[in-house]
Structure 1
């Protein structure tokens, strides 16, 4: 018995340890890495990343993890899973969830090792990782979610099982907007892609995943109280049946410039007037058809405004073609209209595939951001006070657009023609309006207000700092 007590004392002397399990995609790993840094620096946690492995495109993930402090943050890649049994057109979200569910046995083995060798107090997953809860509960480890998008989307997830049971039509055909407590009204067509076809396997996966969110021991949200006050107030008021919700954002990459393209972008920006440049980027996964890419190029040229455009090779079938694959070997610049680079060389900088987004957004010369409305990009814009042209492509980006345009009033939204194409003359109009027009001034002022609010939330006595400290305190009190 005395030995057992001694063992417990030994365990309490060890720093509390957290296991973090991201689902595939660099956009999911990045905020989790930033969360890990906060837990280490401010709360003395040690961390292990356990990475389910889709067998593809792991170089960016490895690069990100190798840059961390190896004394405090370690990482393990689980054995790759196979998707050979899946049809080629399976939705990205199904692959993300299956990468985790097919790794549960390997995850369980790694968690057992951590339980034996560290003082493991919590398992943290992202919003697609809730199938790991079964393993966490079996091993008596508290399961938490780091919800890497808006509180609006979390509200929708809590409400979704009810929506599923009380409607039979496709959500895009709902006659009235969905009213979520404390949130901007949402049209059914603005819901995330995997729920837009009730007969698709992805729909069943989403229903199951949404139900599992309620069984988390707690949910940290990458947003902050002053950005979405109504939603966070409603979570508190709903109380019973919901896990505790902690607004801990904005948790974003602060990063440094690396690589030739990074330096080239910054040198070019240094020569431009204040708030005169539009940054054009559609995230790590976003892609366009050749026709849309051509319209975008001509629209930027027609606008007469300065721009930095991160160009990717076109794809005719998917808007998220780069999510699970390495950028094609073809030079994306070869798909631009003839003469475009020569005609715009005085006002534009075109960079293939990648640019140092955080540095570009934080630069004094950047006056607007044409974006897919991914949540990481959205938070980076807010932290740096850059207004937006919202062009959602996939996943929950249309939901984010509703928040940005209708709720926060920091973005103007693009409109498509009957073929689903945003035309060049419209693009030119949006760009001029944002950089030079009165509407742009209004959006910029609104965004600067949220920039100040974000700064306050992350200050020493700020709401998000206190919220994360609350989570840390709960974890430290667990004597596992």
Structure 2
């Protein structure tokens, strides 16, 4: 009987990252019969959605350990972004992680530990893996473009003297479309900040990795891998193993039959799906402009609505923050829901013709897998960079113009972009994303390029 390969994975206390690495673990177990131990740092308590997802796994093959929780009250609150808080929580969990890894190494009840796979934003774990002489790999939950930026950052830091947002010329990232400095992730916008110092430190640890696994696929971002290997700056494998998207239940997987039933009554490719994820929200002013823009477009829409970010909501009905009379005026045009929505089912529905998205990577990949053109509306983190990839690199979406002084998209601009995407001007976009959809499906077939890349990773471990 073949020896079972045992690996540990370590991620950050953010559901989208945890869900993505769990899906990767499922694939490793299903196709390669790995034994996997998932190690999760926590803030206050485990994330409910993650615990629900873990309950659906084969517990004998994929086990999990929640590290002792970090008390959120012990983390800085003033002038610290949510991303930086997560980083600090991971740092505070390192001793617990070291103890857990030592225990796994010494265990006689599980197969010997062969390797560690860590989230890019938890790469302090690479130093601990080195202490244990354990092979370690980095999993990039986001794009290969993000990996390219992180690997290139020490060089970029030396080459650029000013703030990145003040660069007259675009920022050049190996293998990627050139982007404006203001489209770099939030933590890059102030080079004197603690957040930037943390990300610069993190980027210098990647030399410790034996390789990288990326949630992308060759037809979408192969240029990144080629660029790094051609100039000799990366001498370890980069495995494009995506698309990796959630297929198991969520904490609210009862579904929303109302929105799916509503879609059943719409014409093919006629509905604009609007959702900005579960973390960030629009301001009251932007909600007003978006609502009026959707109405002005005359196009059908399905809007997963969240209360504004700049209002103390308490237990108020979120719908009260919509413009007066909007729901009544658009009752034949659209549907607004405030509950969880089955996003993958909505995107794959024949009635869905476009997606207004915040460009979180999971949502971006889900849209590509479903072949749905996007209107990119980035809000935070690396989302502006993803928007640049979607609209300028892949050319499978449109990006509205944001006002210079306050970042608002006006209603007239919203209506124009919606009509362009769903109308004749969106034909080329629909053709391009249709080809990407097919390429994503092909990548995951038995002899597809992402399947082969994962097999190469497994072979490297086993040898």
TM range (shorter): over 0.9
| Residue of structure 1 equivalent to 2:265 | 271
Separation in 2 of the partners of 1:353 and 1:196? 34
Match of 2:159 in 1: 166
**TM-score scaled to structure 1, two decimals?**
0.91
Q: Does 1:238 align with 2:231?
A: yes
1:402 aligns with 2:395: no
| Greater Cα offset, 167-176 or 80-89 | 80-89
1:278-319, Cα deviation, whole Å (9 max, x unpaired): 1101112121111111111111111111111111111129xx
Task: Provide the residue aligned with 1:203 in structure 2.
Answer: 196
Pick one of 417, 423, 431 that aligns with 2:410. 423
1:88 paired residue number: 78
Q: Check conservation: 1:130, 1:212, Cα contact below 8 A.
A: yes
Which of the numbers 166, 175, 189 marks the counterpart of 2:168?
Answer: 175
Distance 1:13 1:110 in 2: 27
State how far apart, in whole Å, the 2-side matches of 1:14 and 1:209 are: 35
Is residue 469 of structure 1 aligned with residue 455 of structure 2?
Answer: yes
* Cα distance change, pair 466–328 in 1 and its aligned pair in 2 (3 A): farther
Q: CA 1:376 to 1:367, structure 2 compared with 1: closer, same or farther past 3 Å?
A: same
* Counterparts of residues 360-371 of structure 1 (less than 5 Å): 360-371=346-357
Change (3 A) 1:353 1:131: farther
Q: Does 1:133 align with 2:126?
A: yes
Hey, what does 1:372 align to over in structure 2? 358
Query: Are the structure 2 counterparts of residues 403 and 241 from structure 1 closer, same or farther at C-alpha, using a change threshold of 3 Å?
Result: closer
CA distance in 1, matches of 2:101, 2:330: 54
Q: Is the partner of 2:120 in helix, strand or coil?
A: coil
Task: Indicate the RMSD between aligned Cα atoms, in angstroms.
Answer: 1.9
2: CA distance, partners of 1:342 / 1:195? 43
The answer (yes or no) to whether the contact 1:79–1:106 under 8 Å persists in 2 is yes
Asked if the contact 1:133–1:143 (Cα under 8 Å) also holds between the matched residues in 2, the reply is yes
Q: Give the match for residue 63 of structure 1.
A: 52
- TM (norm. structure 2) is 0.94
Of stretches 214-223 and 57-66 in structure 1, the one that deviates more from structure 2 is 57-66
Q: Specify the SS of the correspondent of 2:353.
A: strand
- Going from structure 1 to structure 2, the CA distance change for 1:338 and 1:344 (only over 3 Å counts) comes to same
Secondary structure of the equivalent of 1:370?
strand
Q: Would the aligned equivalents of 2:154 and 2:204 in 1 still touch at CA under 8 Å?
A: yes
Structure 1 residues not aligned, in runs of 5+? 1-11, 322-326
Unaligned runs of 5+ in 2: none
The alpha-carbon distance between structure 1 residues 329 and 19, as it changes in their structure 2 partners (threshold 3 A), is: farther
Secondary structure at the counterpart of residue 157 of structure 2: helix
Asked if structure 2 preserves the Cα contact closer than 8 Å seen for 1:222 and 1:247, the reply is yes
Q: Does residue 79 of structure 1 match 2:68?
A: yes
1:207 Cα deviation after fit: 0.3
1:22 to 3, 11, 15: 11
* Aligned residue pairs, count: 457
Which runs of structure 2 are paired with 1:275-354 in the superposition (5 Å)?
Answer: 275-316=269-310, 329-354=315-340
Is 2:211 the counterpart of 1:218? yes
Against the structure 1 CA distance between its residues 259 and 471, is the aligned structure 2 distance closer, same or farther, given a 3 Å change threshold? closer
**Counterparts in 2 of 1:291 and 1:55: CA distance versus 1, 3 Å:** same
Alignment check: 8 A CA contact 1:221 1:245 kept: yes
1:109 aligned onto 2:96:
no
Larger mean CA deviation between 447-456 and 50-59 belongs to 50-59
Distance 2:141 2:228 in 1: 17
- Secondary structure of the structure 2 residue equivalent to 1:80: coil
Deviates more, 1:405-414 or 1:299-308: 299-308
How far 1:261 sits from its partner (Å)? 4.8
Equivalences for residues 447-462 of structure 1 within 5 A: 447-462=433-448
3-state SS in 2 of match to 1:330: coil
Q: Pick from 22, 35, 38: which aligns with 1:49?
A: 38
